[in-house]
C-alpha cells in the first residue's frame, strides 16, 4: 500500500487541505498505528485507502491498484476492509448474523463458505450468544465488535481501523488489539489503526504522527515515546507497561519490549 505525493481538500476548503503531500509506504503484514490531534487528517487518510475518498493530487495504491480507477473499485473493496469510528454507519443487517454475512454474500461466495466465515467471525469477536440479536439492541461496545466481525468475515488483506476501539472498555480494547496483532503476525494481515490511546501503540511496529495533514513522525513506538520525542506533541505519555518493559530490559532481563498487558510482562519474566 502506498501514498505517492497525496494531497486532499474537501469541497469549499481548498485553501486548507486535510492532507498535504503525503508519501508513505506500508509493507504487507505491517501493523501501523496512526495518531494525531483531532483534525490532523487521520480519518481522511483511512478513507482514502479503500477509495471512499480520492486524492486531489498524487495517487493511492491499495494492494497495488490505483484507487482513482473505477475499474479497480470492486477488487479494492474486496481486499481492504474499513472499520469506522461510528459502527452505526456500516451496520446494515437485521440481525447480528445477517450483518456479518452481508459482505461475504456480496462477494458471491458459496453458502457453505459464508456460514463458515460468519461462525469464525462470531467466535473471534465473542458474539456467538448474540447472533440472532437485532443490531439496534446492542450496546455501543457490542456494535463496535459487530463492525469488526463484519470486516474480518471478508478475510481482507488490509484492515483499516478508524478509532474502532474508542467506545470499548479497557478489557475489550486489549482483546481487540491482541487479536489484530495476532492476525498481522500469523496471517500477514496489514493493519492501519488510527487511535488516541497511547497504551494501544505497543501493538504496532510503526507509528505515524499526522499534524495539520502532514507526516510529523514516522518510526518505532520506542522512538515515539523517547524523552523529548514526538509523543509530547499530541499530549501522549509513555504507557506504564511500556516504561516498565524498557526499564527491565535495561537491567538485562529478557522481557516483551512492547507489552499490551501485565500478564504478558509476567509471562516473559517467568520464562
Report the C-alpha gap between 142 and 147 in whole angstroms: 9
Report the C-alpha gap between 268 and 260 in whole angstroms: 12
Q: What was the pLDDT predicted at 179?
A: 87
Are 208 and 24 in contact by the 8 Å Cβ rule? The answer is yes
Backbone angles phi, psi at 187, to 5 degrees: -110, -5
Q: CA nearest 6: which of 45, 59, 61?
A: 59
The pLDDT tens digits of the residues spanning 242-254 come to: 899 889 988 988 8
The pLDDT tens digits of the residues spanning 79-131 come to: 999 998 888 989 999 999 999 999 999 888 999 999 999 999 999 898 999 99
Beta bridge partners of 194: 34, 162
Residues 6 or more apart whose CB falls under 8 angstroms from that of 48 comprise 3, 6, 8, 19, 54, 55, 60, 67
Report the C-alpha gap between 234 and 36 in whole angstroms: 6
Q: How many residues does the chain have?
A: 271
Helix residue spans in the chain (DSSP H): 42-49, 73-79, 96-106, 111-124, 140-153, 170-187, 221-224, 240-250, 262-270
Question: Which position has the grid cell 469510528?
Answer: 85
Q: Which of 38-42, 157-161, 256-260 has the lowest mean pLDDT?
A: 256-260
The pLDDT tens digits of the residues spanning 210-229 come to: 999 999 999 999 999 988 88
What is the DSSP-derived secondary structure letter of residue 72?
G
Amino acid at each position: 500500500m502506498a501514498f505517492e505525493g497525496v494531497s486532499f481538500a474537501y469541497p469549499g476548503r481548498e485553501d486548507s487541505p486535510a492532507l498535504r503531500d503525503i508519501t508513505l509506504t506500508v509493507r504487507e503484514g505491517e501493523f501501523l498505528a496512526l495518531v494525531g490531534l483531532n483534525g490532523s487528517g487521520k480519518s481522511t487518510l483511512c478513507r482514502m485507502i479503500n477509495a471512499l475518498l480520492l486524492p486531489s493530487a498524487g495517487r493511492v495504491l491499495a494492494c497495488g491498484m490505483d484507487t482513482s480507477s473505477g475499474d479497480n473499485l470492486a477488487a479494492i473493496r474486496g481486499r481492504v476492509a474499513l472499520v469506522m469510528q461510528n459502527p452505526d454507519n456500516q451496520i446494515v443487517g437485521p440481525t447480528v448474523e445477517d450483518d456479518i454475512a452481508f459482505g461475504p454474500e456480496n462477494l458471491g461466495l458459496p453458502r457453505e463458505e459464508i456460514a463458515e466465515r460468519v461462525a469464525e467471525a462470531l467466535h473471534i469477536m465473542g458474539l456467538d450468544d448474540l447472533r440472532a440479536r437485532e443490531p439496534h439492541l446492542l450496546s455501543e461496545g457490542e456494535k463496535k465488535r459487530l463492525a469488526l466481525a463484519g470486516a474480518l468475515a471478508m478475510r481482507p488483506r488490509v484492515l483499516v481501523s478508524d478509532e474502532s476501539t474508542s467506545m470499548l472498555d479497557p478489557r475489550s480494547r486489549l482483546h481487540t488489539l491482541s487479536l489484530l496483532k495476532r492476525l498481522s503476525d500469523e496471517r500477514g494481515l496489514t493493519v492501519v489503526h488510527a487511535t488516541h490511546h497511547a497504551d494501544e501503540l505497543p501493538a504496532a511496529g510503526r507509528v505515524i504522527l499526522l499534524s495539520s495533514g502532514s507526516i510529523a513522525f514516522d518510526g518505532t513506538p520506542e522512538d515515539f515515546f523517547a524523552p523529548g520525542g514526538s509523543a509530547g506533541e499530541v499530549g501522549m505519555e509513555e504507557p506504564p507497561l511500556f516504561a516498565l518493559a524498557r526499564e527491565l530490559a535495561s537491567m538485562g532481563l529478557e522481557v516483551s519490549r512492547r507489552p499490551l498487558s501485565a500478564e504478558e510482562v509476567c509471562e516473559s519474566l517467568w520464562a
